[in-house]
Chain A
Amino acid sequence: MTADDARRLLRTMWRIRHFEERVGRLKRTDEVFGLIHLSVGQEGVAAATCLQLRDDDAVYSGHRAHGHALAKGALLPRVMAELMGRETGVCRGMGGSMHLVDVEHGFLGATGVVGGNIPMALGSALAARRLGGDTVAVVFFGDGAVQAGHFNETVNLAALWGLPLIMVCENNGFAEFTPRSAHTVVERVSDVVSPYGIVRETVDGNDVLAVWERFGAFLARARAGEGPFLLECLTVRLRGHYEGDPAAYREAIADEEWQKMDPILRLQRHALAQGWVDEDEPAAIEAEAAEEVEAAVAFGRESAFPPPELVAELVYAGSDA
């Protein structure tokens, strides 16, 4: 990791953090609609993986997708506008929080059905292999998706065909309000794929350096034609499962404990110690991110809602035939 990488990572994580927290506030006044899942606490994984990818690499995510979309390059104001249901949103207000898609930046899609994205990513990996270049497919999912049948169907096929698929599991220990221990006896997600000879690793997902390094190594191998890979990132979702979840099913993390774990603060401390950034640089990065998010809210508010005609227009794609 270079100083420049660290700066980009910090910038990306702060942008996600402020975006998420701002969305949380907007949710209280219903300026964003529907069910909202925030990734506060998990920014390190999104940033340390997506920043190493290119626009032609396909990324898939699930219901907790804002961070992945932003890190993959989706324009922040357009993601905000999407959540606010505006026509200027990445999906013209048709998708919302759980269904972000930004083709231009290779964010092929998020799906609200747990694990539904995993076989789709397999399809992109198959396409990548057929196209013959060095592009890869990356799919993000939670620990809860691993118990779904399609996960196993995908793992078998990816292994059988040796596809350039990198599965990134953000294991935050909970699926909705249920701890992992009530879902499975297999503590580590990486153990679930152990029968399939998949190259796999479990890392501290709040350790941005570790995720960066492990993911980078997998990515290099995937670009060279190897695969599949599974990277399990142990992480913490700081807020409730959805905005409005009182999270009574678990103990909140004490603030000072979180200060130690927070992926952003950890990287900041490291960057300062390495002399990669000046003393006041992190604060400046953060302030800039906060401003950007405020501007995005203003952009969203100024944007129009999509016209009703759009609904019918989008039912079928026109034929290229």
Chain B
Amino acid sequence: MTPSPLDNDRLVWMYTQMVRIREFEERVKRTFEEHPGVIRGHTHLADGVEASIVGSVANMQPGDYVLTTYRCHGYPIALGTDTKAIMAEIYGRATGICKGLGGSMHLCDPSRGFLGTSGIVGQGIPHATGAAYAAQIRGEGQVVLCFFGDGASKQGAFHESLNIAALWKLPIVYVMENNGYNVETQTHQEDANAAAGEDLSVKAKAYSMPGVTIDGGDPVAVYETVGAAMERARRGEGPTLIESKVYRLSAHGNLIAPPGVPLHYPEHEAIAVFGDREQYEAALKGDPVPQFRGRLVNDGVMTNEQAEEILKAARDEMQEAVTFGVESPFPENDEALAYVYA
């Protein structure tokens, strides 16, 4: 069984979400210049990964869960969380989705099935597996989407979780966003499979689990593959590992520095560390957002005017989010102790 076919409205919806994520991330990045000091700590952007995010979560049905890493702005945007609340969270404001207590790395919107993230590499994988266990015993056909990076697959938690999921046939789809980097380490420098020129989805063999590798820059391919895996999970046939090949267009994260040093986004590691401008430029050429736009316009699904409107609407929306965030109050002191215990 394949997921329901994408009609034109749905395709345009997908494009719209991709543009919204892109514009949001652009504004996060620009905040470092426009409003110095407003964003603290560490942010990780999903520009370049929009197709993979949107193609995946487009399959989610009410009741499904999603858990992600610290690179987490894109998912709630596609799920419909108010971008004002997300931006305000990144700005540490009381109006943020986590009331300013979580910040960029720890977004969470349980009302939309987004159960949260971990800032510790790989540790969200067992969380998602546990949610799938809950879904299985609840027996209402919920499925879990678990997102993590290529680097996380070298974390013991990956191995332990996938084994249990396969053993118990848990309703979960593991989506590994392989962006070729763990910070500034290229995948072949740290992964035996990558070093051997293999797809990372071969790791699924160790768990007798299906493993597939897809082009994460093609939202329709992502939609279909993730959708089929989710359907399989929903039927009780167990988990799938999907390697979604992507390229993040920004550096791993903003500059890491003690208080007082202005933060900004450095150049992508391909250039900054490896001096490989070609790699980066090739990725830019393959940028999934304009690619998908061209395809939809070509196929007559959307007009250029429509695309411009979508872009303009997204820009307006994100401008509003920034303004809302900057103008929002900080949380009161007693909030710091309000959530220590439930």
Binding site for B on A (CB under 8 A): 147-153, 155-157, 159-160, 182-186, 191-197
Q: What are the residues of chain B within 8 A of A150 when measuring CB–CB?
A: 156
Q: How far is the CA of A153 from the CA of B167 in the complex (A)?
A: 20
Which chain B residues lie closer than 8 Å to A153 at the CB level?
Answer: 154-156, 159
- 20 chain-A/chain-B pairs, Cβ below 8 angstroms: A148-B159, A148-B160, A149-B156, A149-B159, A151-B156, A151-B159, A152-B159, A152-B206, A160-B195, A183-B163, A184-B163, A184-B167, A185-B167, A186-B206, A191-B205, A193-B206, A194-B206, A195-B198, A195-B203, A197-B192
Max count, chain B CB within 10 A of own CB: residue among A150, A156, A157, A159: A156
Which residues of B in the span 138-174 have a Cβ within 8 Å of any Cβ on A?
A: 154-160, 163-164, 166-167
**Which of B160, B166, B198 neighbours the largest number of chain A CB atoms within 10 Å of its CB?**
B160
Assess whether A196 is in contact with B192, with CB atoms less than 8 Å apart.
yes
Instruction: Select B156's contact among A152, A159, A184, A196, beta carbons within 8 Å.
Output: A152
* Interface residues in B190-213 (C-beta closer than 8 Å to A): 190-193, 195-196, 198, 202-208
Q: Is the CB of B202 within 8 A of A195?
A: yes
Residues of B within 8 A of A185 (CB): 166-167, 207-208
Q: A148 to B159: give the CA distance in the assembly, Å.
A: 7
Having A184-B167, A191-B208, one finds 10 other A-B pairs with CB under 8 Å, namely A147-B163, A148-B160, A149-B158, A155-B192, A156-B192, A157-B192, A184-B207, A185-B208, A195-B205, A195-B206
Chain A residues lying within 8 Å of B156, measured Cβ to Cβ, are 148-153
| Distance between Cα atoms of A267 and B100 in the complex (Å) | 70
A197 close to B159 (CB less than 8 A): no
Which residues of A are found within 8 Å of B198, using beta-carbon distances? 195
CA distance A289 to B202 in the complex (A): 49
Chain B residue contacts of A149, Cβ below 8 A: 155-160
Return the chain B residue nearest A160 by Cβ.
B192
A152 and B158 within 8 A (CB): yes
Among B157, B158, B163, B203, the one with the most A-chain Cβ atoms within 10 Å of its Cβ is B163
Q: Which residues of chain A are near B206, meaning CB under 8 Å?
A: 152, 186, 191-195
- With A and B bound together, what is the CA distance between A197 and B155 in angstroms? 19
A197 contacts which of B158, B160, B196 (Cβ < 8 Å)? B196
Give B residues with C-beta under 8 Å from A.
Answer: 154-160, 163-164, 166-167, 190-193, 195-196, 198, 202-208
Cross-chain contact B160 with A159 (CB below 8 angstroms): no
Q: Considering only CB atoms, which chain B residue lies closest to A119 in the complex?
A: B156
Contact B195 A183, beta carbon cutoff 8 Å:
no
> Which B residues are CB-close (under 8 A) to A197?
192, 196
Q: Smallest distance from the beta carbon of B242 to chain A beta carbons, Å?
A: 15
Q: Which residue of A lies closest to B201 (CB)?
A: A195
B205 near A183 (CB under 8 angstroms)?
A: no
Question: A192 vs B160: C-alpha distance in the bound complex, in angstroms?
Answer: 12
In angstroms, Cα B1 to Cα A177, docked, is 40
Chain A's nearest CB lies how many Å from the CB of B158? 7
- Among residues of A, the one whose C-beta sits closest to the C-beta of B193 is A195
Q: Which residues in A have their C-beta under 8 angstroms from that of B192?
A: 155-157, 159-160, 196-197
Give the residue among A147, A149, A150, A182 with the most B Cβ atoms within 10 A. A149
Are the C-beta atoms of B207 and A186 separated by less than 8 Å? yes
What separation, in Å, do the CA atoms of A160 and B187 have in the docked complex? 11
Q: How far is the CA of A208 from the CA of B160 in the complex (A)?
A: 32
Query: Considering the chains assembled together, what is the distance between the CA atoms of A184 and B159 in angstroms?
Result: 11
